Amino acid sequence: MEREFNYEIMKEIKERWSLRAFSNEKIPKEEVMAILEAARYAPSCFNEQPWRFIVADDEEKLAKMRNVLTESNQVWANAAPVLIAILSKKTFAYNGKDNFWHQFDAGTAWGYLSLEAQRRGIATHAMGGFSKKLLRESFDVSEEYDVMTVVAVGKMGDKEKLPDDLKERERPDVRESLEKLIYKV
């Protein structure tokens, strides 16, 4: 099944998908900083900006970050030259109270990051398959933060290098119809 678009939307949204065939080609620091800058300008409740990023872009940090991923993610994500963990701060800075929106807002920042990357010809794939506990231990992340995702960042690589089962799945996922997403009232 192919994606279908009923309305004209932004090129970056239409063309982005969570590929697994990453190339190990290095991503210049400048590009990594630019995609974080995009995330930085996401909106958030009370402008709290609860998002934090652990950027693994050298061999030492990459080895630590790969190690927290499930084996099934390591199979393909280990090729990515950058892995970014996204954290979200649970409480508001201004009053220390629980921020109901912190995960939601961190998700918005991830959205901005993903589209700026796409604009630059850089693929991203957010993963849920990793050990939160091991990530906390490995990178000394306190309970002040939720650990939301680890994102593989890099150029598209050669699909033929993927294992057969992943080769089969290496295409954009389809979506529910718009009708289903609109809550009937």
Residues in touch with a second copy (CB under 8 A): 3, 5-10, 12-14, 16-18, 30, 33-34, 36-43, 45-47, 49, 51-55, 61, 85, 87-88, 100-101, 103-112, 114-116, 119, 126, 128, 139-141, 148-149, 173, 175-176, 178, 181-183, 185
| Helices 102-119 & 29-40 angle (0-180, nearest 10) | 140
Residue placing its CB nearer to a second copy in the complex, 71 or 173: 173
Q: How far apart (Å, rounded) are the C-alpha atoms in residues 47 and 122?
A: 28
Please, are residues 142 and 90 in contact by the beta-carbon 8 Å criterion? no
Residue placing its CB nearer to a second copy in the complex, 8 or 143: 8
Residue placing its CB nearer to a second copy in the complex, 57 or 74: 57
Report the nearest approach of a second copy to the CB of residue 73 (Å). 12
Please, are residues 28 and 101 in contact by the beta-carbon 8 Å criterion? no
Q: For residue 90, what are its two tokens?
A: 């649970």
Residue with tokens 């050990």: 131
Residue placing its CB nearer to a second copy in the complex, 2 or 160: 2
Report the nearest approach of a second copy to the CB of residue 159 (Å). 19
Exposed, middle or buried, 141 (CB in 10 Å: 0-12/13-18/19+)? middle
Report the nearest approach of a second copy to the CB of residue 95 (Å). 14
Q: How far apart (Å, rounded) are the C-alpha atoms in residues 28 and 118?
A: 15
Q: For residue 94, what are its two tokens?
A: 């201004």
Report the nearest approach of a second copy to the CB of residue 25 (Å). 20
Residue placing its CB nearer to a second copy in the complex, 46 or 163: 46
